[in-house]
Amino acid sequence: MENIVRKRLGENALESINDYRLCSWLSHQEDVHRMVFYIADSHCSPSAWTRRCLRQADCVVLLALASADDPTKLSPIEQALSGLTTKVTKILVLLYPLETEYPPAKRTAAWLNARPWVTQHYHIRCPPRVLNPTVKNLIKFYSQVFLLEEPNQHSDMSRLARYLTGQAVGLVLGGGGAKGAAHVGVIRVLQEAGIPIDMVGGTSIGALIGAMWSEETRVAQLSQRSRDFARVFKSIWPKLRDITYPTVSLFSGYEFNSHIESIFKDRQIEDLWVPYFCVTTDISNCKMRVHTSGKSLRFRLSFSMDLHIQLCN
């Protein structure tokens, strides 16, 4: 984009003496277009154009290879971004090969802990043409690509595009115990109707189904994992073994927690493919808590057990 600016305004367009002219031209572009993308330079140190992009943008998107050796190391551009006083949205996009099954457990936290100024993050599975581009004119190349194939609206890249354009679709799943199995059917119908799911929230059984969907993003696998979960807990014997002295709860929760841990293992909320949150109640302070990070087991806190045991069919 820097070359376009120099072509329109002259080779000295980025010099400080032409600052007013450049700002006026960029402001005009923002007035006549719904969205303007500023593509920064890929140099190691921030150039004059990159610094202009950071000052001009309302939202900054940082692209990074998820397989980077040291996720805690900040690039010079990130260091410049962390020092910005303007409150702009900062999005971290981690790129993975298309065949990646799941993001590595706990690695996302290392990226985010080193960048506390990040507003939102996304995991994006990309085809080889994105990770290893072999053409120079990318705009012309992708114009030809999308003439031959329709964009997949359920892809990770489409999800990011909807978020950036303010068209993201969120799904919040409620509680209901065994009745929460219906959430799987709702997700299946949404997928068949071509309605994408860009963010998932939930409480109680909705938190569980939502977390499984955010991790899988495939209806067939979600259905199978839901059946396995229901099969384990339709028996009354695990519940009877879990009964404890009811100081705080009728059940110790050991059996339930063990099965939940076997499903998600060390996966954290920030490692899920789809942005996710769950809601719990802080019984010490009588306040609502919204969890967007930490161990996936946190959504277990969203569950409560009634004295009336509902069996899963």
CATH number (domain holding residue 291): 3.40.1090.10
The residue out of 164, 182, 204 marking a domain boundary is 164
Q: Please indicate, yes or no, whether residues 70 and 127 belong to a single structural domain of this protein.
A: yes
Tally of domains in the chain: 2
Pairing label, strands 287-291, 89-97:
unpaired
Mean pLDDT of 45-52: 81
Q: What is the average pLDDT score of the chain?
A: 83
DSSP characters over 187-231? HHHHHHTT----EEEESTHHHHHHHHHHHH--HHHHHHHHHHHHH
Indicate if the pLDDT at residue 308 is higher than 50: no
Q: What is the pLDDT of residue 310?
A: 46
Backbone angles phi, psi at 288, to 5 degrees: -80, 140
Confidence of residue 311 (pLDDT cuts 50, 70, 90): very low
Q: Does a structural domain hold residue 282? A: yes
CB 41 within 8 A of CB 2: yes
The residue out of 139, 164, 189 marking a domain boundary is 164
**3-state DSSP call for residue 60?**
strand
Q: Does a structural domain hold residue 31? A: yes
Q: Please indicate, yes or no, whether residues 36 and 157 belong to a single structural domain of this protein.
A: yes
Q: Please indicate, yes or no, whether residues 182 and 54 belong to a single structural domain of this protein.
A: no
Q: Please indicate, yes or no, whether residues 50 and 139 belong to a single structural domain of this protein.
A: yes
Q: Please indicate, yes or no, whether residues 246 and 298 belong to a single structural domain of this protein.
A: yes
Confidence of residue 107 (pLDDT cuts 50, 70, 90): very high
Confidence of residue 128 (pLDDT cuts 50, 70, 90): confident
Q: Does a structural domain hold residue 307? A: no
Q: Please indicate, yes or no, whether residues 28 and 124 belong to a single structural domain of this protein.
A: yes
Torsion of CA 264, 265, 266, 269, to 10 degrees: 10
Residue 115, by phi and psi: left (phi above 0), alpha (psi -120 to 50) or beta? Answer: beta
Range in 31-45, 98-112, 157-171, 201-215 the model is least confident about: 31-45
Q: Please indicate, yes or no, whether residues 128 and 177 belong to a single structural domain of this protein.
A: no
Confidence of residue 11 (pLDDT cuts 50, 70, 90): confident
Indicate if the pLDDT at residue 312 is higher than 50: no
**3-state DSSP call for residue 268?**
strand
- Residues 6 or more apart whose Cβ sits within 8 Å of residue 206: 172, 173, 174, 175, 176, 180, 183
Q: Indicate the length of the chain as a whole number.
A: 313
Q: Which residue has the tokens 């950036």?
A: 164
Q: What is the pLDDT of residue 12?
A: 74
Confidence of residue 179 (pLDDT cuts 50, 70, 90): confident
The residue out of 131, 164, 197 marking a domain boundary is 164
Rounded distance between C-alpha atoms, residue 286 and residue 275, angstroms: 26
Q: Please indicate, yes or no, whether residues 192 and 254 belong to a single structural domain of this protein.
A: yes
Domain with 98, as residue range(s), is 2-164
Q: Please indicate, yes or no, whether residues 134 and 204 belong to a single structural domain of this protein.
A: no
Q: What is the pLDDT of residue 204?
A: 87
Q: What is the pLDDT of residue 296?
A: 66
Q: Please indicate, yes or no, whether residues 115 and 218 belong to a single structural domain of this protein.
A: no
Indicate if the pLDDT at residue 197 is higher than 50: yes
Indicate if the pLDDT at residue 2 is higher than 80: no
β-sheet with 120-126: strand ranges across: 59-65, 89-97, 120-126
Backbone angles phi, psi at 64, to 5 degrees: -145, 145
- pLDDT tens readout for residues 63-87: 999 999 899 998 888 888 777 766 7
Q: Please indicate, yes or no, whether residues 10 and 151 belong to a single structural domain of this protein.
A: yes
Nearest to 197 by CA among 170, 226, 177, 229: 170
Q: What is the pLDDT of residue 66?
A: 93
Q: Please indicate, yes or no, whether residues 115 and 202 belong to a single structural domain of this protein.
A: no
